[in-house]
Amino acid sequence: MKNIVVSFFAVILLCSCSSKPQIANWQGESLGNLILEYGTPASFLRLEDGNKVIQYDYSTSAKLAGNYCQLTFMIDGANKVLGVNGQGNGISCIN
């Protein structure tokens, strides 16, 4: 019985880590498309070189530990996505 419980928790842990969102497909897309898809960012920073950093934050406390996802996008002067970074604990927050 102890082995079944340990195996169950191991499977839960592995499944939560494998559900990271596929965010690399946003590279090269326009800022306008990003905002159309996900709405107004939680934060927006304009850098001295004309690039921008925008961030989306998603969280839920519906589950015991709560889930969160933080997406950070680097946008160039032509309003195209240069790079993307996603952090979280298993919630799949974007397509």
**Residue 34, domain CATH:** 3.30.1450
Residue 95 inside a domain? The answer is no
Higher pLDDT: 7 or 54? It is 54
Q: Does 64 reside within a domain?
A: yes
Mean pLDDT of the region 10-20: 39
Q: What is the pLDDT of residues 40-53, one digit of tens each?
A: 999 999 999 999 99
Q: Is residue 93 part of a domain?
A: no
Could you tell me the residue range of the domain that residue 69 belongs to?
A: 2-88
* Structural domain includes residue 27: yes
Inside any domain, residue 26: yes
> What is the chain's length?
95
- pLDDT score for 64: 55
What percentage of the chain reaches a pLDDT higher than 90? 42
Contacts of residue 28, Cβ cutoff 8 Å, sequence gap at least 6: 80, 81
In a domain, residue 73? The reply is: yes
C-alpha 75/C-alpha 49 separation (Å) is 11
N- to C-terminal Cα separation, the chain? 38
Is 17 domain-assigned? yes
Strand extents, DSSP E, the chain? 43-46, 52-60, 67-75, 81-88
| pLDDT bracket for residue 19 (50, 70, 90) | very low
pTM of this prediction exceeds 0.85: no
Coil vs helix vs strand at 77: coil
Task: Name the domain count of the chain.
Answer: 1
How confident is the prediction for the chain on average, in pLDDT?
75
40 or 8, which is more confident: 40
Six-digit token string for 15: 């499944």
36 within domain boundaries: yes
